[in-house]
Structure 1
Amino acid sequence: MMMPLLLCVILLTGCASTNLNNAERLIERHPVGFSDAVNASQESETFVLDALKTVNRLEAVIERQ
């Protein structure tokens, strides 16, 4: 469960931004917290993925400016 989500997040991070990588930075700085959040429940996994996608989309908006 953890690896497919992590792979998805890394791929999204690379696609959405070239300068800002805050989603990846958060995962790297807090690996245990990320793992705990993802594995707590199906709803928490969905929330974490949605939150990281949101960060990536907002970074893309900032980078286009």
Structure 2
Amino acid sequence: MPHLPAVDAPSRLSSYRSRHPRAAKALGRTLNIPELVGNAPIPSDIGTRLALARIDVGQATIH
């Protein structure tokens, strides 16, 4: 599973939080990621504290 560059993390998380506010809050509470729960700007250093990976569930096969 490829990790995304740390520099991309703030914009990706901000976009996710904007597009899916309820899911982002639930995920933030579950995984203890307060940046997803609140409405404050995503810190620029979040990519150094939180690794993001791209998952393509459209291509996943479960056996």
TM-score relative to the length of structure 1: 0.32
User: Which has the larger share of helix?
Assistant: 1
- Structure with larger Rg: 2
TM-score relative to the length of structure 2: 0.33
